[in-house]
Structure 1
């Protein structure tokens, strides 16, 4: 019997050891406080995520000797209560870390408590830039600093060309935090904030409505909303009610709201259709999909009476925060962990009696050094906050939303995340984003500003010129608006006379473009002062006047000059020879040709002087001066011939064309045709061309089916020559014209045709062979009835 008992004891010994070991491990508990607003959407999402994080972590690390024990407290959205709960956790439970609090305003005071007690405070929701690790060394932001998204918002504003933006924010630590930084970033892209709308968290529906009506009276129609989820929902729904979600408005939400977009009620989301949002980008993964499925089931279990919510980015960050604290706790452990209570006096407050954790600095260091791949992607708190460089840009449509692009610090805005291009953080254009459905189900990009008017809109006709540099008209596929650009706008090829006449018919109120001021057109319309030089000239080919061949080196001097130089050359040699011969110079004795060469080509200052007489030297000096001048002139002339083309026009006078019967050209729709006919040109010799065909027609020539000259207006000719500077030149002007101007009804008609009747006035005018036309209108004060200009 005794032997049997010993055997049983031996068998139970390992089991007793395991039990003792587990008991030892269970005793290694590291207490952590969690402060949340449990009745809010973020609080509920975070509580479920934290619960799952504890289960998942210790299911994977079941052999860890240190285990977190969470003490969850509800701050009930009150900053004072949040601070009270933090003091209670530090005093009564000796927590080594505090996760939360939820609001930035709560985090400020609780982080100061963490500084005094050396307890890390880790918040996954406090995003205000005012929370700085410099002043709060024990504060760790397990989320994104609000300022990280500012360059993304500025890039959106810049992409759509908006120059003014109104900010709408709540009067809280969170709301005020990024506004100064946002204003500075917008100023960097030359966009200004003319007004900042601030609303208290306790604002009533009436206060919100009155503020929105105030915004409607302003010209700016682009708004950036930076508020808490609850406050932003109220403001945006009210904006739809007052008509600020109609065509022409643009709204951008910061990530505080957009990160929770999936949890919005579909009926609420529908009222926000058309707005843009910026949200933190979470890469898709199988791990995240599996967790989301489990999270949805657990949330329904934890909140059986609530409507289903979707996992948000804040839920992922709370999950990853538990993992990083649990890993740090295991590395630090509880060995030699103590809480030191300072010396107190009789009247000391609870804040003065806070204990100091010896484990806190080590735990903080491990949290900052830990880096892993979490649910939200790379979870790195080494800089005391998450380092985020990728944001997703979304467009709310109906009861859902769709992705329209991404923003990264390296590439700016792009449609695809993996798209690489040389860019800056503030670069991008509307073409780098997918098309947006704007408020009012409009596809036209809001202009960003408008002037509310009830008067008549001025219809402006724009004519497509054959020269896009002067006038280019196009339909913007993003905005759907007609845009005119070019020289004639900044300061189609249809018949210009018909186009101008449509102003008289009041189809257009004003016509702009490269419209020539003509005497016959002034009968029925009025012109502005000309904005270009006037005149009609010819474009003609040029030919080189110099034949470049082997004997070009003879061309710098005329034949007479060549002959005179040779004669002077021989004359000088003969004179010198005779003078030296008469002077008994032994050097000139001998063959005359040899001595003549010596006299000319050898310097008179050689060591052995060949020229001895003074008169001979004078003659040679005269010859050398002449030779020097001649050589310089020859060198310059030859260089010019070899480097500069000597071009001459093939035609110098329009009458030469008439005499030779050459073909001439003009531009389609131009009045130049009538001018050529007045000059007695044969109609068969006058050919119309489009600007793109001018070069080909001139290069072929009149004998090969082309033209010998193109008659055109001077501004067009200079533009043509800037593109075809080789081979053509301008001859003229051959005819005087008044230049280009804008077209309107005559001044009196403009005053009468747009005003409200007060007193009947009748105007009668005659237009050539047209019948008399009566126009009746009246006069009002234009300052009370502003006029909008619309391009059609």
Structure 2
């Protein structure tokens, strides 16, 4: 309450001061013109600085500025005077001191301004009086620089350290972190903006953001630490003042959060002041990794400055135990040189003065000093430190575009990983690098969501026992999850929680942190990645359009049992056998005689019918009986084979989809179905273009089948695993007509969870070991159905290769009979001709009467 009252009083004082200042602005403007004329004709220049002399930054800056003025005057033969005023950390005090410096000492430039509030207030005063104002605050927003033309940021921006932080995260393959920051001023929004912008370009994600008040009590710090300690993330980025940071680490150590498994990384607000803390504080912070501002401390210029600083600081600040110059001293020294160089041009004013300041470039302690858009060039190199024991060691450096290195100037020694610089001592001094997260224990098991509205119960089913008020989760997905957990590299405790809602809502529960994972027939869909991540799919992918079949038989199906060559040879053999029978039997059977046309018809008829109508006692020649026996033997076998093949073809139906594609359904406004609660509904509307009124949802495979058979719907859209089960059960009634891209089923985990990789590896292990196939056979095998393939292809037709022997038998027998018949006929004719000749001779030689 006292703090609030003090803030109100300070606000009232500020308001009164600004009101009086506005009343006097006209007078002061005229006075400023007169003062400017006096200054131009004077041989001296005055620089005013406003700082909080109680802070370490203020103490270092004061000594550094005094050294800078002495060095500048000695090297340039100028007469610069530095007037230092103590704001005592008060905004009103800073404004009053600025007015005092203008009126009393006729200062021509302002230095200092370590807070956003001072930057805005003093920057406005300096712009009114056309006094260059050089802020040592490293996060001056662009809007302030645009509003106040004489305001400059004389300290390089440290936002680049966010990239160094991400590089550290990637070095150890940490994906998640918690950001803890102190709400010091509106500058906090700037650091958050740059942090979010940086991690957006990487695979690193922020799990939590904790805001600390500068006046936060020990109990409130403990409460915040308890809250984040309940989460799995164990990597913490701290952006706070040294005072607040030390209190935070003291509470963390008391709570056991500075032990093995934890990772603490600090920004420059703490790291740049670690040289000022005592040994007990280092023991509290042991294992902390810090990102700090970089300055080249090996140059002769820095060594000279450091010697002067230590001597002077020890005399002026005897209460301080460490006399080494920090980054605040270095930046203040260079900023004083900037102001002095700007004021050395006595004939400059207005826009020419601004142009002169903007064009300033020189080699300072921090390196090349140059303004870009009224800001010093942003820092792109940072030092990395590690707190060990009672002090800290400098691990190395990180440079943007290069990476990590122990030596700044050796570009060949840079590496993308911090691990290349040697071992880091983490809290608790573990032998191995912390994993950056904690695995749920039996006390806090993994909360696994399970859908209760699954259509295909073989994948997942929640069975309730109302008598004992409990439930059991079974199914293929559940069994696979249990087997996968067994293969994780650590013990994982879990418990199932039924969820009655859509699958999109189920996945969203992971984002809302009501579930730690989801197991079931959950499809991998791109839009769901905004809420969670997925493991590798454990089922086949695709979305199938299942429709009723139409069965039809071909009009020429009766010729299909034989191949073309088989038919041709069969016909030839039949005609050949008929011809031989006709030739042999025609003398003995009057019905086989007649005109040539009649004989041709009888021959063709005999080839296909006489074989089955002539009995053995109707044949008059043993040769024809031999031909008939062989022919009948072959005909019976070939005929039986033909009958069997044709019967098989008539039994097996030729299946074809009733609807070929989804465009036909859409154009005819046909109704289609899908599983209730699935993502398929939005896919049908948003991607395929179906109307909402033409979509029906169902809750069981039997409902699908009934609706399709009764023509309530023309098609049903099922994920590939579901369509496989559905068609196995209704293999003779439905068929897949079209296929669409879809991600398959997978386990759901939080975004960026370290367990995604672990679960994927474990799933691959389950698959490669053959366990996945065993689970599938055991859980889904009862629904499998043997596909009934058509025998209408060439492989199923009967050809010559199967009947060569039979055709040789009948053809050879017939040919043999024909040969014998020809021989007998020729012999008979020969004897007959001989008898005729003898008879003629006898007639010629007989006595005439």
- Greater fraction helix: 2
Structure possessing the higher radius of gyration over alpha carbons: 2
* TM superposition score normalised by structure 1: 0.49
